[in-house]
Chains A and B, each alone.
Chain A
């Protein structure tokens, strides 16, 4: 039964960076801002996390550096789209391009360096429980952070006053402004939270998933995270379900191939995308509910009248 545990661990490792990046972007979009730069912030987080780990010798410092780097990158996006009201789609796309290029430059001297893995939890006795020991008590720290983040964001958005304010801004920034809420300040905070999460997701790639730095190592995971947010109709627990479903089908198709079922591999490779989209679309088929969850002023710039 060790195999089942191994497979589940692999699935969770594959899903964790998607989940973290998507949860961050969910908060950003709930505040009415569309940041398409997730991939770019993630890859910057990955390279800064790796570089700081090598330079300091501690993956924990690397993780913090990745979070900070993601937040700084998102701040750049914030200044352009919030203070200067630039087009969010164009700015987000440029942030991705910038991130991919900049990370290649920062990381050039770190290619091929042996990485240091962020150690997994290892509690005597508990981690050795058969079947579930390593799943519950033996994973990497970022995995636990991802679950705390999901729960925390769900609680914050739907159970606190500040969360209500944030959602109000996302639905109608003009009314929120009229109520005396500082729209831009809250959007800045949301955007930076999203950036920090993307940076952390990148750190998961370069410190846990494959502890190394190679250019473009995010390989499109930022885009998958973005898609998850939309298909999960901006609901945190659905994002979690979507990320795990995507991870499960991605890993499952590799096992199906290794078992030699004779299903065309191109079809299997496309399966995670197809399955995740289909399932999330079916869950969100109630149009009224979906509309209610969609931040109504998503992507629209807000310029306070003076």
Chain B
């Protein structure tokens, strides 16, 4: 009898030790909509995860699940992570918003971070990057570089994030060329290299000489390179796909944010219900080297970037009219974040009808 008790006690002790060892490592989990090597959006998050892992070292175990479709599958994937002992879960696509909230309600002790959404909960915080700051800069470059005065914009889905990017780009372009025009083509996909390339060809055939995109592949950049026009990289430096075409790229740098949030989750200072929206000045967003452009355009871009970083310039500063000509922002008026995050209208000069 005594032997049995000893054996049991020993087993218990061993289990306690091993589980304590396992708990030593804090588990941070990531859900990706695309593949880790997409050369764009998801790869930028993966680079961020690797950065956080390296900085935090042995104390943390980071796990990522790639190619998770938006919709019901996402909820299953998030829930599996929550059950498997993840302390904090990052869901890195707009379409994961409702699934994240649904799972968060079931697991109040797990911390959730959702990228680019607008709904929070006591254990859900959102984070985003002020991409429109970069879009404003590339818009200005386009305004200077375009000979035809028309740029082409390859867009994915009509969500506020994308509409905000289109408006930011056009407003930047119009700040240096008031007659600048923008043609928009929606491909209704985040990632289809062939279709994005076709859209780029269609736009070029209709006379645009600068291409920019809010989709994730390097297809359009290749077409630009081949046809000898200029383009901007998306989410990731795409200079390899367009050595003579890329003017610059808006690069996402999530690493420092991930490091900070995982650390906060570990030492108990993490807060739910927050919305973090950082920009160029915080380093969550950066511009790839300005290339393939004259020095004066480069100087202008650098100056604008410096002004945005110092807070001297907010890209959405009036006067700005809506597409129908009505006033959105009066002279000197700056848009509030709420309007930007829910943006569902074009500004004046977009040659497209916004899909509703």
Contacts and interface: CB of A to CB of B under 8 A. Distances in A.
A187 interface: no
Given A114-B241, A260-B351, A254 B185 contact: yes
Contacts of A214: 35, 37-39, 191, 193, 217-218
B202 A254 contact: yes
A104 to B, nearest CB: 6
A269 B205 CA distance: 19
Contacts of A112: 37, 39, 240-241
Contact of A10 (B189, B198, B241, B356): B198
Nearest to B39: A112
Interface in B164-183: 183
Nearest to A221: B194
Contact of A255 (B188, B191, B206): B206
Interface string B190-223: 0111110111011101101000000001110011
Interface in A45-73: none
Contacts, number: 120
A10 B194 contact: no
Contacts of A111: 37-39
Contacts of A262: 352-353
Nearest to A115: B222
B222 A265 contact: no
Interface in A182-213: 205, 209-212
A176 B165 CA distance: 63
Interface string A1-44: 00100110010001000000000000000000000000000000
A265 B166 CA distance: 16
B240 A114 contact: yes
A87 interface: no
A259 interface: yes
Given A112-B240, A215-B38, A257 B194 contact: no
A154 B198 CA distance: 30
B34 to A, nearest CB: 8
Contact of B222 (A14, A211, A260): A211
B118 interface: no
A269 B218 CA distance: 21
Nearest to B193: A210
Q: Closest 9 A-B residue pairs measured CB to CB?
A: A265-B186, A262-B353, A254-B202, A215-B35, A111-B37, A219-B192, A269-B188, A210-B193, A260-B351
10 contacts: A107-B37, A111-B38, A210-B222, A216-B67, A219-B194, A221-B194, A258-B184, A259-B206, A264-B355, A265-B355
Interface of B: 34-35, 37-39, 67, 152, 158, 183-189, 191-195, 197-199, 201-203, 205-206, 208, 217-219, 222-223, 240-241, 351-353, 355-356
